[in-house]
Structure formats: structure tokens, C-alpha cells
């Protein structure tokens, strides 16, 4: 199986023929830098997180939810009615993403689809002259992430990564504190994802539900019969479509950890152990993982996934621990129950942080800060950059998303191969390791091919 995979990757020269034959010329529906003219956005994927997207975007002045798109047409009527009630405007609806790209009244797309679709949908949008907000992880593989960066730059598009902590006033205050030397020299950063997950059990294949375009849902993934365990949300736990919790929650905390270490590159050495413990189910991805990443200068980034019953670490279950020569800091990134009691809980992704020195005790805290919603801030930053046409002003440009998402991919590859891996950051390849290199990309199901040349 692995030799066949390698042979395919050596000989394949896939192209996007038949998917997006040519990039349509896009005429903006608004005047550049004009806050009083409307920016039209289409939300792609409207279940769960997609609702957060259109509800938040609708709060931004002069942003119009022009269209909604989902392969499950059963979800569209309720979502359209929801947007109409919120905004007073009835959006168009589509089940086919490419029809969204053909719409001249759509300026930007907000992508909330499964991981295996993020790259193609982002690249096609850039080719069609649309700006993009794409959820994390931005990619399904490392090669995809690099292609997304290339597309954003070639077509001069604004592509924002959905790591909203970059727009959190609380987190930015924490980083200002660190950059001013509050923790001294940072030597290690750790991300935590302690989300207890139930078993998904075993489910037999079944008929495709009416109204669901299963072929498009699978898209570039291998064709498989419809199975409820591979559909709504549970797709996270299968390698064809997801990246486990390391690629689900992980990119948020990996991004903060890399930010704390001030790294604009990949690590050079990756160690990862983990497996799927306790439950007997269809799930393929690990529910317990421990990963260590080493950078060229020796600094360390760690990540831990615990999907089963566990204690917190430093009162933190989902967040980050930052370690420096003068002390340490914890950054809590989501309400996870008891560990959030001492933080201002205003139903935000980022609720606070605090730091300590061994000798001095608590020395800095914003636990009680009432910070504006980082989700809103993040979308607002995106819309501002869409108006100005300056991707350079994004809080989480696609390159940041690529570097942080790659940490999840590297950790998963090392875990699946069960050995330490050496990585060349400049080449974005493993060192003399064809087997590991074969996991940098994947086999695409025609016609949903990743183009060799953007």
C-alpha cells in the first residue's frame, strides 16, 4: 500500500481540469476603503460553526450575507430563514460551491467545510477573484497549505485563517507582556487539548439521505458508501476527511505556542506517540497523543491531546502554558468548566490569562478584563482587509495558518509512523525519508485534483 502511494506521488501530475476551467474576472460590489458600501459574503458550510460565521459577519456594519452553501440541502431553509430574521435580507442558497464562485455579487467566501475541502475551495476562490476566510486547520496536508499560500500571493487575495486568538485583546495583551520581557527568555510553549470525547461506536453503511450530495461531500477523498459515522462532525475522526483533535482544536493552541516562541518556520525534529484508547469504534485518529517539536535553535513546542477522563494541567484543559526564564503563563482558550471559574466568562473563545514567578507569586493578570469578542474582531479585521485589499494587515494571514496547521500534520505523521522524524523547513520535506514524505500529500479523486501549478 505504501509503495503504491509513493509511486503515485512520483508519477502524478494532477491538474484542476474540469473543476474550474478558467478564473472569472471579479468586479467588486463595493468601493475600495469605503466603509459605507456593502461587502457581500457567502458562507460555505452552515452547520454548527457555519452559523457562528454568518451570525458574526451579520453584526459587522455594511456586511451582507449574500449566499449560503451546503451539500446538505436539508439545512438550507432554516439557515436562510435565520439570516433573513437577523438581517432583514434573504440570502441566496446553493448546494454547489462552484456556483457561488460564479456569482458576481459575492466578494468573499467564508469556508466552514470539512478539512479535506479547505485547500481546493480556497485555491478556487482565489482564482475566481474572491477573498477568503478559511477555518482551521487551513489544510488537510502540508503540500495543500503551501499551495494555498501560493494561490493567495499569485492572485493577491486576502486569505484569513480562522485562529481568532490572533484578534483577542486578552491574548495580545499577554504577548505584549511577554515581548516586554515579563517572562524573560521563552524556552518552551505547550498546547493542551483535553476534550473528553465519547465513543462514536460502530455504524453500518446505509442509503444516502435525501437532499445530501454525498459525492461532493467526499470531493477529493476516496469514494466510500455513505456512513453516518463519516458524516456531520464525526468526519473529524477519519484520515480521509479529518485530522483528529490534533488538527481540530489543536491549530488554535499550536498557533499560540508558535507565536509565543516567535517562530516563522517549521520545526526540524518531531516526536509523537499516541493511539486510540479504551473505546471500540470506527474512529481512526488517536484520542491520546503527546508530541514534541524541536526547532533549529533548540527551543521546544509541546502538544498534548487527552480525549478521555483526565485532570487539568495548571488549571488548564484547553489552552497554553508558556515557560520563560522569569516565570510561566497560562492562556485559557475555551470554557471547559471548573478551570474557567477564575476567569471572566463572557462566552468567548479566549477568556483570560495569568502569569507567575516562582519567588514573587502572581505578577500579572487580566483575569477580570472584559475583552471584546475575538470572533467579531477577527472577522472585522478580515472585512477591513477585504476593503483595503491589503492582506499584509491581516491578523492571521494564510501563511500563519499554514505554519500552525503544519504542526498538526507533522505530529500526526510522526504518530502514525511511530518514530522520530527529521524535517527540512526550507524544502518542506523530511530528511531522507520517502515513507514520511508520502504523507505530505494525498491521492486525489478526480476531478477534485490539487493543481501542480497554481
C-alpha cell at 14: 494532477
C-alpha cell at 243: 485530522
What integer pLDDT is reported at residue 365 of this predicted model?
61
**How far is the C-alpha of 454 from the C-alpha of 288, rounded, in Å?**
37
pTM above 0.85, yes or no: yes
* CB-neighbour burial class of residue 116 (10 A; exposed 0-12, middle 13-18, buried 19+): buried
What integer pLDDT is reported at residue 36 of this predicted model?
65
The secondary structure of 268-326 as a DSSP string is SEEEEEEE--S--SS--S-SEEEEEEE-TTS-EEEEEEE-SS---BTTBSEEEEEEESS
Residues of the chain where predicted confidence (pLDDT) is lower than 70: 1-27, 30-36, 334-372
Q: List the alpha helices (DSSP H) in 17-70.
A: 49-57
Q: Residues 394-407: pLDDT tens digits?
A: 999 999 999 999 99
- Using the structure block, give the residue that is written with the C-alpha cell 476566510: 133
Strand segments (E) across 3-103: 39-44, 63-69, 92-94
User: Can you list the domains of the chain with their CATH numbers?
Assistant: 2-166+376-395 (3.40.50.720), 168-200+227-371 (3.30.360.10)
What integer pLDDT is reported at residue 331 of this predicted model?
87
Phi, psi of 387 (to 5 degrees): -65, -45
Q: Residues 333-370: pLDDT tens digits?
A: 744 332 222 222 223 334 456 665 555 555 556 654 45
Four-CA torsion 416, 422, 424, 427, nearest 10 degrees: -40
Residue 307 to residues 181, 272, 312, 361: CA-CA distances in angstroms?
35, 16, 12, 32
Give the three-class secondary structure for 379. Answer: helix
Residue 96 to residues 102, 138, 140, 275: CA-CA distances in angstroms?
11, 20, 21, 36
What integer pLDDT is reported at residue 37 of this predicted model?
87
**How far is the C-alpha of 57 from the C-alpha of 41, rounded, in Å?**
8
Report the sign of the C-alpha dihedral through residues 38, 43, 48, 53, in that order.
Answer: negative
| Contact by Cβ (8 Å): 380, 392 | no
What integer pLDDT is reported at residue 111 of this predicted model?
98
Listed residue (227, 254, 256, 255) closest to 241, CA to CA = 227
**How far is the C-alpha of 449 from the C-alpha of 216, rounded, in Å?**
13
Helix H or strand E segment including 159: strand 159-161
**How far is the C-alpha of 258 from the C-alpha of 161, rounded, in Å?**
15
Amino acid at each position: 500500500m505504501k509503495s503504491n502511494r509513493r509511486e503515485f506521488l512520483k508519477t502524478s501530475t494532477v491538474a484542476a481540469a474540469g473543476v474550474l476551467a478558467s478564473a472569472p474576472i471579479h468586479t467588486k460590489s463595493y468601493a475600495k476603503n469605503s466603509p459605507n458600501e456593502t461587502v457581500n459574503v457567502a458562507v460555505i458550510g452552515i452547520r454548527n460553526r457555519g452559523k457562528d460565521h454568518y451570525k458574526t459577519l451579520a453584526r459587522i456594519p455594511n456586511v451582507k450575507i449574500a449566499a449560503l452553501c451546503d451539500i446538505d440541502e436539508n439545512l438550507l431553509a432554516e439557515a436562510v430563514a435565520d439570516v433573513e430574521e437577523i438581517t432583514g435580507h434573504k440570502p441566496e442558497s446553493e448546494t454547489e460551491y462552484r456556483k457561488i464562485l460564479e456569482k458576481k455579487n459575492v466578494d468573499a467566501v467564508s469556508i466552514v467545510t470539512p478539512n479535506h475541502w479547505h485547500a481546493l475551495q480556497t485555491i478556487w476562490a482565489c482564482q475566481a477573484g474572491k477573498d477568503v476566510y478559511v477555518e482551521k486547520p487551513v489544510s488537510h496536508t502540508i503540500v495543500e497549505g503551501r499551495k494555498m499560500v501560493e494561490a493567495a500571493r499569485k492572485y493577491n487575495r486576502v486569505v484569513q485563517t480562522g485562529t481568532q486568538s490572533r484578534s483577542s485583546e486578552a491574548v495580545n495583551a499577554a504577548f505584549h507582556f511577554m515581548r516586554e520581557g515579563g517572562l524573560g527568555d521563552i524556552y518552551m510553549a505547550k498546547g493542551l487539548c483535553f476534550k473528553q470525547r465519547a465513543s462514536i461506536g460502530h455504524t453500518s453503511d446505509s442509503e444516502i439521505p435525501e437532499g445530501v450530495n454525498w459525492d461532493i461531500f467526499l470531493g477529493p477523498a476516496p469514494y466510500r458508501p455513505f456512513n453516518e459515522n463519516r458524516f456531520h462532525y464525526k468526519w473529524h475522526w477519519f484520515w480521509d476527511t479529518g485530522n483528529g483533535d490534533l488538527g481540530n482544536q489543536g491549530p488554535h493552541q499550536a498557533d499560540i505556542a508558535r507565536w509565543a516562541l516567535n517562530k516563522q518556520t517549521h520545526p526540524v525534529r518531531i516526536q509523537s506517540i499516541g493511539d486510540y484508547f479504551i473505546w471500540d469504534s470506527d474512529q481512526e485518529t488517536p484520542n491520546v497523543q503527546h508530541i514534541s517539536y524541536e526547532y533549529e535553535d533548540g527551543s521546544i513546542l509541546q502538544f498534548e491531546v487527552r480525549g478521555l477522563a483526565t485532570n487539568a494541567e495548571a488549571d488548564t484543559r484547553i489552552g497554553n502554558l508558556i515557560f520563560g526564564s522569569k516565570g510561566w503563563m497560562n492562556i485559557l482558550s475555551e470554557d471547559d468548566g471548573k478551570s474557567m471559574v477564575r476567569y471572566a466568562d463572557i462566552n468567548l473563545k479566549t477568556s483570560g490569562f495569568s502569569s507567575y514567578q516562582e519567588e514573587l507569586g502572581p505578577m500579572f493578570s487580566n483575569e477580570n478584563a472584559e475583552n471584546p469578542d475575538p470572533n467579531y474582531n477577527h472577522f472585522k479585521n478580515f472585512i477591513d482587509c477585504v476593503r483595503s485589499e491589503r492582506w499584509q494587515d491581516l491578523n492571521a494571514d494564510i501563511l500563519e495558518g499554514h505554519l500552525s496547521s503544519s504542526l498538526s500534520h507533522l505530529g500526526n505523521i510522526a504518530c502514525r509512523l511511530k518514530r522520530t522524524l527529521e524535517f527540512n523547513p526550507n524544502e518542506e520535506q523530511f530528511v531522507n525519508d520517502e515513507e514520511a514524505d508520502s504523507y505530505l500529500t494525498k491521492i486525489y479523486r478526480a476531478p477534485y485534483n490539487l493543481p501542480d501549478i497554481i
